[in-house]
Structure 1
Amino acid sequence: MGQKVNPIGMRLGVNRTWDSRWYANKNDFGDLLQQDLKIRAMLEKELKQAAVSNIVIERPHRKCRVSIHTARPGIVIGKKGADIEALRNKIRKYTDSDVHINIVEVRKPETDATLVAQGIAQQLERRVAFRRATKRAVQTAMRMGALGIRANVAGRLGGADIARTEWYREGRVPLHTLRADIDYGVAEASTTYGVIGIKVWIFKGEVMEHDPSAHERRATEGGNAGSGQKRREPRAPAQG
C-alpha cells in the first residue's frame, strides 16, 4: 500500500500537516477552497523561477495568511519589497480578506523533494541527459545529509519512440513506515519529444513521537536530515 499512495497524504496527522489550514461552515467551504486553488495556481505561475517548495494558506479571523517556502527569497521579495507587494495585490483579486504574505527560506534545497524534482526537470528542458541529471541530483541529496532518495523519470527518455520509466535509488526509502519522514515532490519537463514526468522521494529520518509539524519545522531549521530522531535502545538479551 505504501508503494502506491501519496506518501504525504498517508502521513497527514502523523508527522505531516495540511497545506491549507482553516475551518469553514458548509456554506463557505466551497468558495474558500476555490480561492485556495486559484491562489496556488497564480503563485506557481508567477514564481516559476523562484524555486518554490510549498505554499501554505491559513485563514485566521478575516485574514488570509500565505506562507511561501522558497530557496530564493530575494526573487520573491524583489527590490525594496516591490515584487511581494505586487503579489499581495494579485491575491486580493481572489479574496476579500486582508492578505498577509510570509516568506520562509528553505535552508537545504538539495534535500527538498519538490525542488530536486524541479531541478531535474529544468536540466531535461536544457537537453541534459536524463541519467546524468538524475544521478547528480541523487548523489547531491545523499551528500547533503539525506538518509535515502529515490527518483523516477518517465516518458520518451532520450527521444525513444516508446515511453518507459527508469528510477534510481540510494540509501533507504521506507514508504511503509508511517513514522518515517518522507518528502515527496513531482515535476514535469516539457521537451521536444513530449512531457517527461519526474517523481522524487527523500527519506529524512524518523519521527518517534506524534508531531504533525515535524517535517515543516525540520525543513525551515535546516538541520541534519536525522536531527530530532530519537535513538532506540538495544533490546536486552533473553535470559536462558
Structure 2
Amino acid sequence: MGQKVHPEGFRLGVKRKGEKVDYKSAWYSDRDFAELLGEDLRVREHIEKKLSRAGIADVQIKKAAEQGEIVIDIHTARPGIVIGKGGSEVDALRGELEKITKKKVQVNVREVSRPELNAALVAESIAEQLAGRAAFRRTMKRALTSAMRSGAKGARIQCGGRLGGIEMSRQETISEGQVPLHTLDADIQYGFREAKTQMGQIGVKVWINHGVADDTPEAMRR
C-alpha cells in the first residue's frame, strides 16, 4: 500500500529565524475544534461553488475568538467577477457567508497579478482545457513554457487518469528546471485540480519553484 503525504505537509510547522508560517486557516480553539473546522469546510465549499469561474487561487480564513468575527481573504485572478458592479457580488457573498456561519464576516479580495506563476491557477487552466477536449501533452507543455518564461526556477506538471482509454490508466509528467519536492531550501508551490472528460476523471498536479533551488546532488536525485 502506498503512503502518500500532501506536498504542503512537508512545510507545515517549520519556522526558521526571520520567517513565518502561512496556514490556510489561522485560529485556535481548545474545545470547539470540530465545529470550527466544519465551518471552514462549509465556507470554502460555498466560495468554490459560487465563484467557480473567478479563478480562485486560495482562500485564507482568520478567526478572532473573542469577537466572533471571521476574516476571509480570497486570492483570485479575476477580482472583477468576485467584486461585481459597485461591489454587489462581494456584498451578496458576505451576506451568504454570514448566514452559513452565523457570525460577522469580512471579505477581502486579493488579486493574483501573475496567474501563470500560481500553481493552483495553472492546474485549473489545464483542467479546463482538458475538459474542453484539448490535447493534454500540448496543454501541459504550453503551461510549463509559460511558467518558465515568467520567471519560475522550475516547474513540474503531472496529469493522471484514464488518458489512454477505458482499458488502461496512466499518468504523464513533464518538468523543466529544478523542482526539489522534499527540501525547505526552495519555495515550492503546489496546486491540484480535477477535470471531467470523455475519457474519465483526470487529476492535474502542478509544482512551481518560486525561490532558491536546491542544486545539491541529493536534491537533484529526488
TM over 0.5: yes
Distance 2:21 2:154 in 1: 18
1:31 aligned to which of 22, 35, 38: 35
Identity of aligned residues (%): 50
User: Are 2:60 and 1:56 equivalent residues in the alignment?
Assistant: yes
Q: 2:116 maps to what in 1?
A: 110
Distance 1:75 1:158 in 2: 36
1:13 Cα deviation from its structure 2 partner: 3.4
Distance 2:197 2:128 in 1: 10
Normalising by structure 1, we get a TM-score of 0.81
Q: Would the aligned equivalents of 2:126 and 2:143 in 1 still touch at CA under 8 Å?
A: yes
Q: 2:7 maps to what in 1?
A: 7
User: Are 2:52 and 1:41 equivalent residues in the alignment?
Assistant: no
Which residues of 2 match residues 87-102 of structure 1 at below 5 A?
A: 87-102=93-108
Q: 1:78 maps to what in 2?
A: 84
Query: Structure 2 unaligned runs (5+)?
Result: 15-19, 214-222
Deviations 1:60-96 (A, max 9, x none): 2321111000011000001111110111111012212
Q: Would the aligned equivalents of 1:121 and 1:198 in 2 still touch at CA under 8 Å?
A: yes
Query: 1:160/1:171 Cα in 2 relative to 1: closer, same or farther (>3 Å)?
Result: farther
User: Are 2:132 and 1:126 equivalent residues in the alignment?
Assistant: yes
Query: 1:96/1:49 Cα in 2 relative to 1: closer, same or farther (>3 Å)?
Result: same
Query: Structure 1 unaligned runs (5+)?
Result: 207-225, 227-240
Normalising by structure 2, we get a TM-score of 0.87
Q: Secondary structure at the match of 2:210?
A: strand
Q: 1:189 maps to what in 2?
A: 195
Query: 1:23/1:83 Cα in 2 relative to 1: closer, same or farther (>3 Å)?
Result: same
Large movers: runs of 4+ above 4 Å = none
Length, aligned pairs only: 204
Query: 1:16/1:138 Cα in 2 relative to 1: closer, same or farther (>3 Å)?
Result: farther
Letter aligned with residue 5 of structure 1: V
Higher relative contact order by CA 8 Å / sep ≥ 6: 1 or 2?
A: 1
Distance 1:170 1:93 in 2: 46
User: Are 2:27 and 1:22 equivalent residues in the alignment?
Assistant: yes
